[in-house]
Amino acid sequence: MASLSVIAVPSSEDLAYGICDRIGGDFVRASVRTFPDGESKVTLGGMASEERSVVVQSSCPPVDTNLIQLLSLIAKAKERSAAVTAVVPYMGYARQDREFLPGEVVTMRVLGRLFAGAGASNAVTVDVHSAAGLEQFALSTKNVSAVPALAEHFRERDLKNPIAVSPDLGGKDRAREFGKAAGIEHTALEKSRDRGTGAVRITTKNASEVRGRDVVLIDDMISTGGSIVKATQFLRKHGCLRVSAACTHALMVGGAEEKMREAGVSEIVSTNTIPGGTSVVDVSGIIAEAL
Ligand code: R5P
């Protein structure tokens, strides 16, 4: 038996294989059966290493189902392995990183306790929503960036005087990182979100710098597509040419892709932290390095 096992359920298998290929070790496939009431029953298809296991699972939609499967895998691996690393390429709940309104739960704090309680020794994640979230997550965690890999993808493109744009000020550093890696300029819009309804509004007054240029909107995640739609409409009003959308995690809920295309987004590029039609940038290498 190898000193390392990489464990995954079928939905994360492709990325987990890629990681296993790079770091070596035994691949242990886990199966999932869903009971009529929605409960997940997870079964390991082989023995976990006595030394170290790496469990790979994003907590993407269906978030709570994937989360319980991940926690179950960690707990099962820990029955045999001295150390268990949780690789959570997309960390769901990371946006609940502070008490925005009185009475709200800082769910990242709860998650940290759950992961530690299940038996994880440490974690690796990709482009977690915020540093504030990781501070609340009580487990030693490496957060790696897929932004250079996304930028590399766009370097090859024939874009007209491109500029990287973050749809909100919170993502300005990401746009800077993307711009630097792609060798292009960057800027950030100002966005506000209604805490009650979730509705998004672009509050930037002027974006004359995008006139006559192709734009790459860069964000950590696309969920409903609302942020990208509003940013695209705003940028088109200011005379930009083509709009591409790049993100690390494409959750794509509620017809997001269709809405973005309707708004005028010509290309959507994401990584395989969440498998899907837009997930063309592979993060197995950067995760393997972090392990
Ligand atoms: C927000 O701060 C995030 O960085 C994303 O911009 C946001 O979560 C995307 O969500 P949606 O696609 O629903 O606008």
Tell me, what DSSP letter sits at residue 48?
P
- Shortest-distance Cα residue to atom 4 of ligand 1: 220
> Does 25 contact ligand 1 (Cβ within 6 A)?
no
Do the beta carbons of residue 73 and residue 30 sit within 8 Å?
yes
Model confidence at 45, in pLDDT bands (50, 70, 90)?
Answer: very high
Residue 130 CB less than 6 A away from ligand 1: no
Residue 191 appears among annotated catalytic residues = yes
Res. 158: pLDDT tops 90: no
- pLDDT at residue 1 is higher than 80: no
Which of 107-116, 155-164, 211-220 is predicted least confidently?
Answer: 155-164
State percent of the chain over pLDDT 70.
Answer: 100
99: CA distance to ligand 1 center in Å? 18
Which residues touch 264 (CB under 8 Å, ≥6 apart)? 232, 233, 236, 243
214 lines ligand 1 (CB under 6 A): no
pLDDT of residue 206: 84
Q: What is the mean pLDDT of the segment spanning 54-79? A: 97
The residue whose CB lies within 8 Å of the most ligand 1 atoms, and thus the one to mutate among 178, 221, 230, 232, is 221
Residue among 165, 227, 248, 258 to mutate when testing ligand 1 (max atoms within 8 A of CB): 227
pLDDT confidence of residue 161: 95
Average pLDDT over residues 156-173: 93
Number of other CB atoms surrounding residue 57 within 10 Å: 26
User: Residue 208 forms beta bridges with which residues?
Assistant: none
C-alpha 94 – ligand 1 centre gap (Å): 11
Residue 30 CA, chain-centre distance (Å), reads: 22
Say yes or no: CB of residue 97 within 6 Å of ligand 1.
Answer: no
Q: Which residues contact 212 (CB under 8 A, 6 or more apart)?
A: 160, 161, 239, 240, 241
The per-residue pLDDT for 196 is 81
The beta strand positions in the chain, using DSSP E, are: 4-8, 26-34, 40-44, 52-56, 83-88, 122-126, 141-144, 163-166, 185-188, 191-193, 200-202, 215-222, 243-250, 265-271, 279-281
Amino acid letter at 101? L
Q: Answer whether 225 contacts ligand 1 (Cβ < 6 A).
A: yes
Contact 96 CB / ligand 1 (< 6 Å): no
Q: Is 221 in the pocket of ligand 1 (CB under 6 A)?
A: yes
- The pick from 127, 220, 230, 274 for probing ligand 1's pocket by mutation, whose C-beta has the most ligand atoms within 8 angstroms, reads 220
DSSP state for residue 272 in the 8-state scheme: T
pLDDT in tens, 165-213: 999 999 999 999 999 999 999 999 998 888 888 888 889 888 889 999 9
Residue of 27 and 155 predicted with greater confidence: 27
pTM: 0.94
The chain-wide mean pLDDT, for the chain, equals 95
The answer, yes or no, to whether residue 40 has pLDDT greater than 80, is: yes
Which of 191, 205, 230, 237 is labelled catalytic? 191
Task: Give, for 76, the enclosing helix (H) or strand (E).
Answer: helix 63-78
| pLDDT score at 267 | 96
User: Is the pLDDT confidence value at 2 over 80?
Assistant: no
226 lines ligand 1 (CB under 6 A): yes
Cα distances from 244 to residues 63, 126, 155, 219, 239, in angstroms, run 27, 21, 13, 11, 15
Q: How far is the CA of 227 from the centre of ligand 1 (A)?
A: 6
Q: What is the pLDDT of residues 100-141, one digit of tens each?
A: 889 999 999 999 999 999 999 999 999 999 999 999 998 999
Please compute the mean of the pLDDT values over residues 63-90 and round it to a whole number: 97
Q: pLDDT tens for residues 221-250?
A: 999 999 999 999 999 999 999 999 999 999
* AA letter at 185: E
Reported as a pLDDT band with limits 50, 70 and 90, residue 4 is: very high
